[in-house]
Amino acid sequence: MSPKRGIPIRDGADRSKIIWAAPASYGIESGRYYSYPSTFTTYTPADTTSFLPFVVHTDMEVSGLAIFVEIPQASGLLRLGLYASDDTIGLYPGILVEDLGTIDASTGGGKDIAFSANRVWIAGEVWWFALQTSDVTIAIRGTKETLTGLPLMTIAGNYMPRDSTNYASGLPDPASATTQNAVSPGILVKIA
């Protein structure tokens, strides 16, 4: 048996699998989910919108976003969104590009939702994923700002932006993050 070659990358859809990617390709494969490492449970407070940056490392076509609900909540609802980066005030979420809609968090496991149309992202771009929770705290797989390798805020240290927003009012447009947190939801992107 020959040794594996390339870069070991965890499959976002099935955490038990390792993808061995060729160094030039970064392991981008159609139908797979990719994210920053997210190996612990984070509790997303009720009526809160959390943001997570995604740096595009290679040109790719994407079809949607996903999360992993660790502990289901009977009346829990989640909303996923995509934001452009606002470089005028530092690396920060800007305008709402798309509200992907609602995800039922009353059952556990992987949950995905498609964009209205596939999107082509170019290497070097920065996009912001948003997760908004309904009126209950929901436990999902999360990530830490130190795992992204990015200095995310120009104020109050390097933390993920978060905002208290009423779920019923929808995702804020533009983004309005008034607090910071060292953890964020582990939101994944699905390759078309």
Ordered structural domains, the chain, with CATH: 30-191 (2.60.120)
Q: Which of 11-20, 56-65, 98-107, 144-153 has the highest mean pLDDT?
A: 98-107
DSSP β-bridge partners for residue 75: none
- Which stretches within the chain are classed as H helix? 145-148
Provide the residue count of the chain. 192
172 contacts 83 by C-beta, under 8 angstroms: no
Give the model's confidence band at 79: pLDDT under 50 very low, under 70 low, under 90 confident, else very high: very high
Structure tokens at 160: 């993920």
Residue 108 CB neighbours (<10 A)? 14
Cα(148)–Cα(158) distance, rounded to whole angstroms?
11
State the pLDDT at residue 138. 87
Of the given ranges (18-32, 74-88, 91-105), which has the lowest mean pLDDT?
18-32
Annotate 127-140 with b (16+ C-beta within 10 A) or e (fewer): bbbbbbbbebebbb
| Average pLDDT along the chain | 76
Phi and psi torsions of 164, nearest 5°: -85, 110
Across 136-152, average pLDDT: 62
- Percentage of the chain with pLDDT > 70? 69
Which comes out higher in pLDDT, residue 105 or 150? 105
Give the model's confidence band at 19: pLDDT under 50 very low, under 70 low, under 90 confident, else very high: very low
Structure tokens at 51: 């943001």
Give the model's confidence band at 46: pLDDT under 50 very low, under 70 low, under 90 confident, else very high: confident
State the pLDDT at residue 100. 96
Q: What is the pTM of this model?
A: 0.77
Across 65-79, average pLDDT: 91
**pLDDT exceeds 70 at position 118:** yes
Which comes out higher in pLDDT, residue 129 or 3? 129
Cα(30)–Cα(163) distance, rounded to whole angstroms?
33
Give the model's confidence band at 27: pLDDT under 50 very low, under 70 low, under 90 confident, else very high: low
| Among the listed residues 27, 38, 62, 54, the one whose alpha carbon sits nearest the alpha carbon of residue 190 | 62
Give the model's confidence band at 147: pLDDT under 50 very low, under 70 low, under 90 confident, else very high: very low
Cα(146)–Cα(166) distance, rounded to whole angstroms?
28
Give the model's confidence band at 5: pLDDT under 50 very low, under 70 low, under 90 confident, else very high: very low
